[in-house]
Amino acid sequence: MLRIPGGAERFCDGIRRRSFLQIGGLAMGGLSLPGILEAQQESGQKPGSHKSVIMIYLPGGPPHQDMVDLKPDAPIEVRGEFKPIPTNVSGIQFGELMPKLAARADKLVTIRSIVGATGAHWAHQCMTGRTTKNPPQGGWPEFGSTVSSIKGPTNPSVPPFVSLSPVMKHTPYNNGYPGFLGVAHAPFRPSGDGKDDLVLNGISLDRLGDRSRLLNAFDRFRRDTDASGMMKGVDAFTRQALGVLTSSRIAGALDLDKEDPKIRESYGKGTAKVQGDAAPRLMEQFLIARRLVEAGVRCVTLSFSFWDFHGSNFNRCRENVPELDRGVSALIDDLYQRGLDKDVTVVVWGEFGRTPKINKNAGRDHWPQVSCGLLAGGGLRTGQVIGSTDSTAAEAKDRPVHFQEVMATIYHNLGIDVNTATLRDYNGRPHYLVDKGRQPISEII
């Protein structure tokens, strides 16, 4: 962790200003003085003039048959308590708890037939498209790390991959792992866990302009790191960390006091209280994500609430779904109003679906056979549903969509060809980004 101590002012539901300047998991060596000075110069690239992705992960697995794939004609033990409502696209219906998204269905791709899940609570598949079975040494990198490796930053002062996800109690929900790509491609975490394992001591923000002192501090840092063996391959650092520290781009993006109050109000605030063993419902995360991609970030991930409803499914849906409905709708409106709808792809999904049959505790259990997802923006051909399920939402009836097809679509929207792009693991072996035969969803690109 590299941290430049800052003030303790709080922003957006408890995030401190000093957290804006924490960088977790980035290699910090190999900087010459010319490199440091070059990193302090801002790029002239126009904010927003790049392709990016915002992934909204719903830890626990949301109930597809209570949100976007209702079965009103199914037996009562399957159909549940909610009624379908029409959307603004003829023939498409959503659940009654999603009126805002229903009014924006023309700006959505609704996938009702996602397959390939394992049934385990694990963010890994949403973040990589792959299961945890037989990984290469070091593990598969998440899509943000992959993009960081292939595309690099849009600006020396802007990390390509930012994770807004908190540290969650259920460990497999946690995400932000670079796998075999290494720490140089780990995400920047603006609200990091506060670990002080690597601190650039003796340098305050006011003294960052003292280049000689800064160089000496980095020299000491490198010696200490080399002696302790904390980081392997420290000399591969790409100036990214210092760029973040010496630029106002990321700090500015995270400071919601600079946002139009009407826009902030459209998103709402939510609650900082952790839901279950997963994440809080922080509505302002959606707005921060938009501000980050506009500042030049390529990939932003966030984790929203907790969706493992083994009991009281319908009451829990009433608590969670309307706020998700509001947050995603506000994000979509914001992207369109700012002319970012062609450049920013939004993905909303969880690790699996829920059982068709309601259990004795009025809940739905794990159901890996099929799940749902929403896509928006990215220049996609929206206003359509991809795939369908059978009469009880238990199996994909037609056009099953694999996790890796969604991932291939994301890469396509970022300008990466999954048929040619490869990554090399620790042993130098090349790996394609998705398995052979997995292609972008042709119906929507």
The amino acid occupying position 382 is T
Please give the average per-residue pLDDT across 323-346, as a whole number.
Answer: 98
pLDDT 10s digits, 169-185: 999 999 999 999 999 89
Domain ranges of the chain: 49-189+260-432
Tokens in use for 402? Answer: 């694999």
Query: What is the band of 244 on the pLDDT scale with cuts at 50, 70, 90?
Result: low
DSSP notation for 254-323 = H-GGGS-HHHHHHH--EEEEEPTTS-EEETHHHHHHHHHHHHT-SEEEEE-S----SS-HHHHHHHHHHH
Of 284, 291, 286, 283, the C-alpha closest to 301 is 286
The amino acid occupying position 410 is I
d(CA 241, CA 232): 17
What lies within 8 Å, CB to CB, of 108 at 6+ separation is: 101, 332, 374, 375, 376, 382, 383
Place of tokens 């126009």: 46
Query: What is the band of 22 on the pLDDT scale with cuts at 50, 70, 90?
Result: very low
Judge contact between 401 and 115, C-beta under 8 A: yes
Please report the pLDDT score of residue 249 as a whole number: 85
Query: What is the band of 67 on the pLDDT scale with cuts at 50, 70, 90?
Result: very high
d(CA 230, CA 228): 5
Please report the pLDDT score of residue 203 as a whole number: 45
- Classified by CATH at the fold level, domain 49-189+260-432 comes out as Alkaline Phosphatase, subunit A (3.40.720)
Query: What is the band of 198 on the pLDDT scale with cuts at 50, 70, 90?
Result: very low
pTM, to two decimals:
0.84
Query: What is the band of 289 on the pLDDT scale with cuts at 50, 70, 90?
Result: very high
Please report the pLDDT score of residue 292 as a whole number: 97
Please report the pLDDT score of residue 427 as a whole number: 92
